[in-house]
């Protein structure tokens, strides 16, 4: 716009400024993104989706046993959480981690199997089932599953910390690539024979400061935008 030209003769004049698209509101037509850029953005969003699905599946393990100790009413109702855009698809992916036979409900045997693979102690699956089976049907349907992991949408530090601790298998306060691969495989987010590059890409997405470790803060950052949107709609 030549506003900072030292020579007054070269400096933009008022008519020029008024005709500028920055002032009159007329902007250049939006050009479509190059194909390679579009593909990269799609891949980025897919990786974020896989991360969040895995965290929600882990949060289901970490949160629900506490609810089992609370008094339960025979008239207790199911309250679905306020979900941000795209969350339903991610929750369905997390739900499928446990619903091994695809019946639409998590049975106790399926729950035990997944819990055992995640290193849960004996009897943990029964506590989770008791806490999450709000409708007292003997299994956990998708709505009950959504209700169980609801606090993670409110950016609950406690729910996220319990999920983080499942990934942080050596308890050193960070997640390395090996720990990420183990959990992503156990949660069936990526196949056991996935190329190393897949895990590397997922890891790099979360490791924003590129120090080779995923801190709890970086882990939480994967949820910040969704949590903000959900709280605004609540």
**Cα distances (angstroms) measured from residue 199 to each of 111, 119, 171:** 25, 21, 20
- Looking at residue 215, what is its pLDDT? 96
pTM value?
A: 0.60
Which tokens sit at 215?
Answer: 């801190």
Whether the predicted pLDDT of 61 surpasses 80 = no
CATH assignment, 49-69+84-233: 1.10.238.10
Whether the predicted pLDDT of 230 surpasses 70 = no
Between 122 and 104, the higher pLDDT residue: 104
**Cα distances (angstroms) measured from residue 121 to each of 83, 114, 124, 127, 169:** 31, 12, 6, 11, 15
Domain residue ranges in the chain = 49-69+84-233
| Summary mean pLDDT of the chain | 75
65 band by pLDDT with thresholds 50, 70 and 90: very low
Q: Tens digits of per-residue pLDDT, 134-157?
A: 899 999 999 898 888 766 656 567
Whether the predicted pLDDT of 168 surpasses 80 = yes
């Amino acid at each position: 716009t030549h506003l900072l030209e030292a020579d007054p003769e070269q400096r933009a004049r008022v008519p020029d400024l008024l005709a500028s698209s920055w002032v009159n509101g007329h902007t250049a037509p939006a050009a479509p993104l190059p194909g390679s850029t579009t593909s990269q953005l799609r891949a980025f969003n897919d990786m974020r989706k896989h991360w969040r699905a895995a965290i929600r599946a882990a949060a289901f393990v970490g949160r629900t046993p506490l609810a089992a100790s609370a008094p339960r009413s025979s008239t207790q109702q199911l309250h679905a959480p306020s979900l941000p855009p795209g969350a339903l698809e991610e929750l369905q992916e997390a739900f499928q981690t446990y619903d091994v036979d695809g019946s639409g409900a998590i049975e106790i045997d399926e729950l035990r199997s997944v819990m055992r693979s995640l290193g849960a102690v004996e009897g943990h699956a029964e506590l989770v089932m008791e806490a999450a089976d709000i409708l007292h049907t003997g299994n956990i349907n998708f709505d009950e599953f959504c209700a169980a992991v609801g606090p993670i949408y409110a950016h609950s530090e406690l729910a996220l910390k319990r999920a983080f601790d499942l990934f942080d298998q050596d308890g050193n306060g960070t997640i390395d690539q090996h720990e990420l691969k183990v959990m992503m495989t156990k949660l069936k987010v990526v196949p056991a024979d996935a190329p190393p590059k897949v895990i590397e890409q997922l890891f790099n997405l979360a490791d924003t400061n590129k120090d080779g470790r995923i801190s709890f803060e970086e882990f939480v950052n994967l949820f910040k935008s969704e949590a903000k949107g959900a709280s605004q709609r609540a």
